[in-house]
Chains A and B, each alone.
Chain A
Amino acid sequence: MNAKTSKRLNMKERYRIMTRDLGWEPSYQRYEDIFPQEGFEGIKITDWDQWEDPFRLTMDNYWKFQAEKERKLYAIFDAVSQNNGQMKISDPRYLNAVKLFITAVTPLEYNAYKGYARVGRQFGGVGARIACQMQSIDELRHTQTQIHAMSHYNKYFGGMHDFPHMFDRVWYLSVPKSFFEDASTAGPFEFLTAISFSFEYVLTNLLFLPFMSGAAYNGDMNTVTFGFSAQSDEARHMTLGLEIIKFILEQHEDNVPIVQQWLDKWLWRGYRLLSIVGMMMDYMLPNKVMSWAEAWTMYYEEAGGALFKELERYGIRPPKYADQTVIGKDHVSHQAWFIFYQYGHATAFNTWVPTAQEMDWLSEKYPDTFDRLYRPRFELLAEKAARGERFYNDALPQLCQVCQIPLAITEPDDDTLLSHRDTVHDGERYHFCSDGCRDIFHHEPEKYVQAWLPVHQILQGNCGGADMEKVIGDYYRIEMGEDNLDFEGSAEQRRWAAWKQAV
C-alpha cells in the first residue's frame, strides 16, 4: 500500500474491500468441490464479475440501519400494547386475517431465512453470496418482528398459539409449506428465480400490500408498523430478484429455456398460493382495500406485463397460462373462501357467510360472476345456517398433487365445471387442478410423487387415526369451538362483545 494513501477509505474502496475482496481464488481445492450445487441445474455462469451488486451496502452499515429500524418498531409495539391496541381494530372478524398471516406467511419468512442461508453458501460469486446473506438475515428479522407484532393479539384471540406446529401439519397450511419446500429443495438458481424473482419481484405486491393495507384500513397498528419496517428490506429483495434474472440470462443463451421453464412454473405456483390472499381481501377484511380482481389487474397484468415486455429482449416470453390467471381473477377468491367455509371445523380461524352489505360490494366488484354463481351459494348457506344446519363438509376433498389445494377451481372455459387433470406415471395415477400444475409434475415427477398430501396422510392413519375430531384437536391442535367454526356464535364474538361492554 502506498504510504501516502489516507487512512480513511472512500466509499467505493470501502465497498470493494468489504464485499468483493472477501472472496479468493481457491488454490488446492477444485471449484466444483467448493460449490457443488452451482452446476447441476444446467445454468452456465461464464463470469461472476459481471454481477451488479444490487444492495450497495456493506455489512457494518447494514447492522446500523437495521438496529435503527428495530428501535422504532419496538417502541410502537410497546405503545400499542400499553394502549390496548387490540380494542382499536375495526371488527373482531378482522383478526382472522392476522391468524392466517401468522400461520401461513410468517413460517415462509423463516423458510426464506433458511433458504437464503443455504444458497448464499452455494454461489461462486461473492456479490451473490453477500446479497443472499443479507437477505437471509432480513428474513429472520421479518420472522421475529412478525411474531412480536402478533404476539399482542395472541394474548386476546385464538388460533395463533401453535403456528409453527400447525404449519407443519394442518391441511391448508400444506399449501404454503409445500410451495416453499419445492423451492428449497431445488438448486440455488431455481430457488432465487422462484423466491427472489417470481415471488418477491413479480408477486410481492399481491401478498404484502393487501395484508399491510388491510391492517391499516382495519386499525391494526402492529401489522402496519411491521410492514413499514420491512419495506426497505423488501425494496432490496426486489432489486436482487431482478438482478439475478438479468444476470443469469446475460451469462449464456443456454440459460434462457431453463429460466423460462422456471418462470412458467413459479408464476403458476405463486398464483395458486395467492388464492388465499384473494379470499382474505374479498372476504376476511371487514373494511375492504380493493378487490382481488382489481389487485391482479393492477399488480400482475399491468406491472407484470411491462416487466415481461422488458425481458423480451433476452428471449423470454410471458409465463405460460398467464391468460388463465386473468380469467381466474373473477373466481378464485370466492372459490377459496368457499373451501374454508365448508371445512371451517378444521381451520384455526372463523369463517362466515358475508353480510348483505358485503355481498353487495362483491356484486359490484364481480359483476360477471358473483350474482350468477356465488351469491346463490351463500344465500343457500345462510338459509341452512338459519335453520341450525350450518354446512360443514364431513367428507374430505380431493387435492392437487402439486399445489395441494382442493380441486375447487373451475375450468378456464367453463365456470360451472371443476377443473381436473390426471396422468399415470409409473403405474400410479396422479390428479391436478390445472394444466399448470400437471405440467409442473410432468417436468419433475420424481419430486412430486413424494408430496405429503394431508388428505391422503389422514386416510393412511398417519395423523392420529380415523377420528376427524382427534385429527383436528390432537394432531393439528385446533381447539374445537375455540379456534374454529363459524364466527356467528363463536368464543371470539362473545368475548369481543363482553370487552366492548366493559369499556
Chain B
Amino acid sequence: MSVRANYANYRGPVRDRVENFHGNQLVYVMWERHLLFCAPLTFLADPAMTFDAFLAEVLTPALAPHPESEALDFAEAQWRLDGEAFTPRGDASLADNGIGHKSQLRLITPRLSDLADAAI
C-alpha cells in the first residue's frame, strides 16, 4: 500500500539511512528470554569491526548487569540473524558476516540458572 496524500508521489526523508550514522551502523541484539533487559538493545558499531570484537567490546559490557552474564559463554550460544539461523565467523567483520545496518541478532543460550524459570 502507499500513503494517501494531498498531492501525487508524496515521499519523505528516510530518517535512519546508514549515511546519517557517520560511518557506523546500527545493530540490535535480543538475548532471548532474558527479560531483565526490558527490550532488545540498540548498538552503534563500525561495520568493519570483527564479530569477536563486537562481542567483547560492545555486547559484553552491556550484558554485565545480568546475573547470568558470568556464566554466559558465547561459544555455547546459538545465533539468529534477521530471522534466519546464523553461524557467525568471529574473525570476520560485521559486514562480511552479513550483519547489515539495522540487522537484529538473537542470542540464544542454554539454561544458565534458575532465573530462566521466570525468563529473567
**Hey, which bits of chain A sit against chain B, CB under 8 A?**
36-37, 40-42, 187, 335, 338-339, 342, 372-373, 376-377, 380, 389, 391, 393-399, 406-408, 416-418, 420, 422, 426, 428-431, 442-447, 449-453, 455-456, 459-461
A431 to B105, CA, bound (A): 12
Some 7 contacts from A to B, beta carbons below 8 A apart, are A338-B38, A376-B120, A380-B120, A395-B41, A406-B38, A416-B119, A445-B1
**B65 is an interface residue with CB less than 8 A from chain A:** yes
* CB-CB nearest in chain B for A441: B1
A338 to B6, CA, bound (A): 41
Asked, given contacts A376-B117, A377-B120, whether A452 binds B36 with beta carbons under 8 Å apart, the answer is: no
**Residues of chain B within 8 A of A36, CB atoms compared:** 6
**B21 is an interface residue with CB less than 8 A from chain A:** yes
Contact B33 A417 (CB under 8 A): yes
Question: How would you classify the secondary structure of chain A's contact residues: helix, strand, loop or mixed?
Answer: mixed
Determine which residue in A389, A450, A460 has the highest number of CB atoms from chain B within 10 A of its CB, and name it: A460
Of B10-18, B46-54, B69-77, B88-96, the one contacting chain A is B10-18
What does the 1/0 interface line of B28-47 toward A look like (CB < 8 Å)? Answer: 10101101111111111000
**Hey, which bits of chain B sit against chain A, CB under 8 A?**
1-6, 10-17, 20-22, 24, 26, 28, 30, 32-33, 35-44, 62, 65, 67, 82-83, 100-104, 115, 117-120
Contact B104 A377 (CB under 8 A): no
Question: How would you classify the secondary structure of chain B's contact residues: helix, strand, loop or mixed?
Answer: loop
How far apart are B27's CB and chain A's nearest CB, in angstroms?
10
A218 to B105, CA, bound (A): 45
Contact A449 B38 (CB under 8 A): no
The contact of B4 among A187, A394, A449, by CB within 8 Å, is: A187
The contact of B15 among A41, A42, A431, A451, by CB within 8 Å, is: A451
**Residues of chain B within 8 A of A451, CB atoms compared:** 15
**Residues of chain B within 8 A of A398, CB atoms compared:** 28, 30, 39-42, 104
A447 to B12, CA, bound (A): 7
**Residues of chain A within 8 A of B117, CB atoms compared:** 376
**Residues of chain B within 8 A of A453, CB atoms compared:** 15-16
The contact of A429 among B21, B33, B103, B120, by CB within 8 Å, is: B103
How far apart are A401's CB and chain B's nearest CB, in angstroms?
9
**Residues of chain A within 8 A of B33, CB atoms compared:** 416-417
The contact of B21 among A42, A416, A426, A459, by CB within 8 Å, is: A459
* CB-CB nearest in chain B for A396: B42
